[in-house]
Structure 1
Amino acid sequence: MSATVEVSAKPPEPGSDPSSVDTGRLEGVSKGRVFAVLAVVVMFSEVVPLQYAMISSAVPEIAPSFRSVGESISWMVVILGLVGGAVSPLIGKLSDVYGKKRLLLATSVSFLVGSLICAVTGSWPLFLVGRALQAVAFGMTAVVYGLIRDLMPRKFIPVAIGVSATGLGLSAALAPVVGGLLTEHYSWRSLFWFLVVYMVVLIPLLLIVVPESKLRVPQKVDYVGGVILGVGLALILLYISQGEAWGWGKPSAFGYALAGVAVIGLWVLWEKRVENPIIDLKLLTAPRVALVLGIAFLANMIIGIQNYLTSYMGLTPDNVKQSTLDKYGDGAVQSAKAMGAPEAMWAGIADQVKAAVSFNDSLDYALGFTLLGLALHVLIWQSMSSMIAGPLAGLWGQRSGLRMPMIVGVTTLTLAGFMYVFMHDSWQLMLICGVVYGIGFGMYYAAAPNLIIEAVPQEQQGISSSMLVVAQSFGASVGVALLSPIFTNNRLRITGPAPSGQGLATQDACDPRGCTYTTDAFTTGFWILIVCGLLALVIALVMRHGRKPATGGLLH
């Protein structure tokens, strides 16, 4: 059981040895104790991706329960990015000042309450309140990185960060399996009940197994700066998330982006004047931090695009064309009956009508999986490759520097994009692409937070990691937003006999569940992914830091 008495440890003076500060590091304890602490902490790092993987795919199942909101059902996903991006910097700073375990507990309780509200409420506004409370957990990732830096034996930190970054497979592998089983056998509310149980089990483990970091930053929290920054980030994220629906160029929509940029500018001015800024702007703009944030933005554009595209490809029914032809044939038969045509002619009439139907795409990407089937055939193996690559990248960085794992990571993500462009017409090919992507995912996610740890003083760890979280959140949001106009302009179109019986008519292949899209929509998305990967690779190649063996933050 962890100690109940907290000892405050002041951050080191400039130029002093940071290793002399007692942060509660688990030096000299058994490996079992170290691994137990790490396992519990890692399970908290999986909370946000776990709920994303389970809930986002269930939106079509949830929508009928809130019929009156119509297309506004998307807000159940949008609100996560808005609230999560807005509160993460403040949570990171509070963890530096008041204790990382304490903030991890607070965000966990918020997530638990939010999950419980979503599980039981039939009110749409209250449901959104629950989702907003869940979004507070976005700050968990930054806090987890800080706890690992403060508690893990110094030599184990790079590998431990690799483990935490890629997780234990709960979000990437377990979530689709559990989500698929629950939605197939129970209602969508069972997903939120699963998250409630997850947190009810995890919170006591946090209290019992994980000690509190003793490191405290003795300064006042710049709440005003935190609120200003949060509002600015939320306004920009709102424009990114809703720009397609509102119209990117309309003043009523673009005004949110302009207002967000203006608020961020106000925040910069405030931070330069306040005595205790929420983050040191010189540190934030230093190449060793700024370049990593730039790579994080681009890498998470890749991750957002890949997640969206591959999920849609895997879940698109593979019988769309045949079912469409059957509808036209059935309609022709009904018309023939109504006109009194002999039964012997019905089949021939149906075949003639079907022969007149054409599509604007081969639709070779559609795998026709359920969520459970996609998980078992592709996602589990993709997750396993990332789980292996993450710790190995941390070990590699510990031995020879983190720059090369980052270069290999973004290169592999880019390579996976090329593979997806040409290898997507069977689940076996998608599996191969997914395994390659998983390797790049693990390499990147191990290198990025480790590079931040190497670049910042330990008293700035929480807030610096939260800025990494913000960069990643923005990247994923922008990546998905770029896909919206591409999908709108690349719908599968059906040309067949007009209902009037005169000539042909063309219509989009859409139904209440959504539209079907052409292969070009997906290949264009993957080309955007490739461009993002190449840009990230350029930044990684010019990056001067990360060339020496990782120390777990010993240089700061």
Structure 2
Amino acid sequence: MPAPAPATRSGTKALAALILAVLSYSLVQTMLVPTLGVLQTALDTSAVGASWAVLSATLLASAVFTPLISRLGDSHGKRKVLLVTLVVHLAGNVGAAAAWNVGSLIAFRAVQGVSLALLPLSLGLIREVLPPHRVAFGLGLTSGLVGGAAGAGLLVGGLIVDHTSWRWLFVAGAGLVLLALLAVARYVPESRSTSPTPLDLPGAVLLGMALVCVLLALTEGPAWGWASGRLLGLFAGGVLFAALFLWWEHRAPHPLIDPALLLGRPIAGAHIGAFLLGATQFVFYVLVPKLAELPTGLPPQAAHLVDYGFGASVTVAGLILIPGTLLGLPASSAVGRVERRLGPRAPLALGLAVSAVGGASMALFHAREWQAVTAYAVIGTGFGLAMGALPKLIHDVTQPQAIATANGINTVARTVGGAVGSQLAAALLASRAISGTSLPDGTGFTLSFWIAAGIAMVGAVYALVGNGPRITGTEMRQQTIHDRKRAADLGMEEEKMG
């Protein structure tokens, strides 16, 4: 690997490298969504097998790996761990491109689960490589790109699936990961804020078991039945392992996650906001493309029963999300300006409120393509602002040596919220089926959009007036001292380079 360039006053090259690392995660995930039907045919598997290959295996693995990898980054250096994670992610893409059956593809997709940790590691490094006055911009832009990649990934994935083999999705993903790996190695300096401690393996196992139980229950709920004994047992197991994890972390000499990073008042609100944001996002990520594509793909005897939808291809369905994606990027980078004018809680509250307004518009008006495009443009703008707000809230109340861990928890909270949102959307559609069929009635989409808008509005009110992120005078003074020291360090390095 080439030696990393030292930090500079602007940090632009380092920020670009970290953005590539984040995109190598977020684009690859959404690019695969259009392959569900294709994989089922190409690999001679069931719908459940294809779903595990595209979504479920990565979801479970990422929830387990992300807190652990984030903690390793804080302990042993975020750049070093980021490079290792990119190498593993690259291996997962190469293996998936060469997968010989659905079992091998599921295994390689589980390996790719490490890629979710690229987000908290990169967000933690942004605090290190950028001068203080650019941190809010960098955090907002990078996190906003995660939400923005949804529409872009669907569009790119649809184009590739429509014109070539599904394997090229992983080839393209591997190329992006390799580019990110080289850029991080060249331009991102190692973090100074490390706190070497022994790894808390019991804590990692307990947390992993809790997350696996909950996410497996959410994933298999529709197939097993929401009242089945297996499902209730998994939820009970999740509660039990979570309780044991908290009990252990309060007593462990070197906890995997300081309980204050989970339950402390300044940060718990950010995690709840991330959960509600994830739930809202995935209702729209799942339902808007589905609405756009119907009744395409249905047999003639069923298609005539569906009097809604645009009959769009996967590619056109992705295009509907693009305006919202593009508007979300400037919104996410405006977090710092909104915070300075309205206070630290305002960007998250405003972003969720804007998403709620867009969701209500989608519930009222979705009979035409232009209505869906317009409504999602508002929704995407809110998502961008809210996504950019979360890492800034974490940054403001977390010490440098725990920043990746805190962002990792927040990322997992949004991921779990996304799992809840996607299953909520599926359950609502299933509950409003056309009489005598399993096809969703149009009122199922309307109800789902209203509920998503309600979740977003609850999150906005909570962020604004509830037990949301508070920044105390002491914490602000501590952050100011750290920022001044960081600015002085960058100035000294600039002089040395000159």
Question: Helix, strand or coil: the match of 2:334?
Answer: helix
Gap change, CA 1:392 and 1:307, over 3 Å in 2? same
Tell me the equivalent position of 1:545: 470
Correspondence for 2:207 among 210, 216, 229 = 229
Question: Which amino acid in the other structure matches residue 489 of structure 1?
Answer: S
Q: Structure 1 unaligned segments of length 5 or more: list them.
A: 6-23, 328-357, 494-506, 509-514
1:484 aligns with 2:409: no
Any conservation in 2 of the 1:158–1:398 contact (CA below 8 Å)? no
Note the 1:109-508 alignment, pairs <5 A.
109-167=87-145, 171-317=149-295, 323-324=300-301, 359=305, 363-364=307-308, 366-376=309-319, 378-398=320-340, 400-493=342-435, 507-508=436-437
1:500-539 to structure 2, matched below 5 A, reads 507-508=436-437, 516-539=439-462
Alignment correspondent of 1:350 = none
CA distance in 1, matches of 2:148, 2:383: 15
Q: Which amino acid aligns with 2:360?
A: F
Mapped to 2, the partners of 1:238 and 1:297 lie a distance apart of 17
| Offset of residue 299 of structure 1 | 1.2
Q: Which range moves more in the overlay, 459-468 or 67-76?
A: 67-76
C-alpha change, 1:88 and 1:429, in structure 2 (3 Å) is same
Distance 1:113 1:324, change over 3 A: same
> What is the Cα deviation at residue 477 of structure 1?
0.4
User: What amino acid does structure 2 have at the position aligned with 1:102?
Assistant: K
**CA shift for structure 1 position 491:** 2.8
Any gaps of 5 or more consecutive residues in structure 2? 483-498
Higher helix residue share: 2
Structure 1 letter corresponding to 2:327: S
Closer/same/farther in 2, CA of residues 279 and 236 from structure 1, 3 Å limit: same
1:236 touches 1:260 (CA, 8 Å); kept in 2?
Answer: yes
Report the Cα offset of residue 73 of structure 1: 2.4
Query: In the aligned structure 1, how far is the partner of 2:433 from the partner of 2:52?
Result: 23
Superposed CA offset, 1:268-296 (max 9, x none): 11112111111221342111111111111
Report the secondary structure of 1:67's partner residue: coil
- Aligned-residue CA RMSD (Å): 2.5
Residue 222 (structure 1) shift = 1.2
Q: 1:37, 1:209 within 8 Å by CA — same for their partners in 2?
A: yes
Report deviation, 1:398: 4.4
CA distance in 2, matches of 1:480, 1:384: 23
C-alpha deviation, 1:318, in angstroms:
6.2
Mapped partners of 2:476, 2:295: distance in 1: 47
Aligned equivalents of 2:201 and 2:39: distance in 1? 36
Q: Displacement, 1:124?
A: 2.3
> Is the partner of 2:195 in helix, strand or coil?
coil
* Structure 1 residues 4 and 386, CA gap change in structure 2 (3 angstroms): closer
TM-score of the aligned structures, taking structure 1 as reference length: 0.81
Aligned residue runs from structure 1 range 2-13, under 5 A: 3=3
Aligned residues: 478
Contact 1:46 1:170 in 2 (8 A): no
Q: CA 1:199–1:319 in structure 2 vs 1: closer, same or farther (change >3 Å)?
A: closer
Correspondence for 1:39 among 16, 33, 37 = 16
Offset of 1:4 from its aligned partner? 5.7
Give TM-score scaled by structure 2 length.
0.90
8 A contact 1:42–1:168 mirrored in 2: no
Amino acid at match of 1:487: L
Contact preservation (8 Å) 2:22, 2:146: no
Larger Rg: 1
Distance 1:379 1:528, change over 3 A: same
